[in-house]
Structure 1
Amino acid sequence: MTAKIAVVYYSATGSVHALAKALADAAAAAGADVRLRRAAELAPDSSIDENPLWRSHTDATASIPEAAIDDLAWADAFAFGTPSRFGAPAAQLKQFLDQAGGLWHEGGLADKPVTAFTSAYNRHGGSEATILSLSNVFYHWGALIVPPGFTDPTVYAAGGNPYGTSAVTGPSGEVPDDAAPAAAAYQGRRLVAITDRLLAGRDITADAPRDGGTPATRAA
Structure 2
Amino acid sequence: MDSAVNVAVIYYSSTGTVFELAKAAATAAEKAGAEVRLRKVHELAPDEAVAANQGWTDHRAATQHIPVAALDDLEWADAILLGSPTRYGLPAAQLKQFIDTTGPLWAQGRLVNKICSSFTASGTAHGGQESTILAINNTFYHWGSIIVAPGYADPIQFQAGNPYGTSHVFQNGEIPPGRTELAAMDFQARRVVDIARRLRPQLPL
Bin the TM-score by the shorter chain: over 0.9
Q: Which moved more, 1:73-82 or 1:174-183?
A: 174-183
Q: Structure 1 or 2: larger helix share?
A: 1
Cα RMSD after superposing both structures: 1.1
Trace 1:1-220 onto structure 2 (pairs within 5 A): 1-158=3-160, 160-200=161-201, 203=202
CA distance in 2, matches of 1:99, 1:32: 26
CA distance in 2, matches of 1:176, 1:192: 22
Cα offsets for 1:84-141 (capped at 9, x unmatched): 0000000000000110000111111001110000000111100000000111111000
Cα offsets for 1:63-89 (capped at 9, x unmatched): 100000000010111000000000000
Q: Which has the larger radius of gyration?
A: 1
CA distance in 2, matches of 1:102, 1:77: 19
SS in 1 for 2:7: strand
In structure 2, list runs of 5 or more residues that go unmatched: none
CA distance in 2, matches of 1:152, 1:90: 29
Q: 1:70 to 1:199 in 2, by over 3 A?
A: same
Shift of 1:155: 1.7
CA distance in 1, matches of 2:25, 2:83: 10
Match of 1:216 in 2: none
In the superposition, the TM-score normalised over structure 1's length comes to: 0.89
Q: 1:127 to 1:185 in 2, by over 3 A?
A: same
Query: Contact 2:17 / 2:173 at 8 angstroms: preserved in 1?
Result: no
Query: Contact 1:14 / 1:174 at 8 angstroms: preserved in 2?
Result: no
Query: How many residues were matched structurally?
Result: 201
Query: Contact 2:20 / 2:177 at 8 angstroms: preserved in 1?
Result: no
CA distance in 1, matches of 2:192, 2:77: 12
CA distance in 1, matches of 2:75, 2:178: 34
Shift of 1:182: 1.1
In the superposition, the TM-score normalised over structure 2's length comes to: 0.95
Q: 1:21 to 1:137 in 2, by over 3 A?
A: same
CA distance in 2, matches of 1:37, 1:143: 20
CA distance in 2, matches of 1:179, 1:51: 28
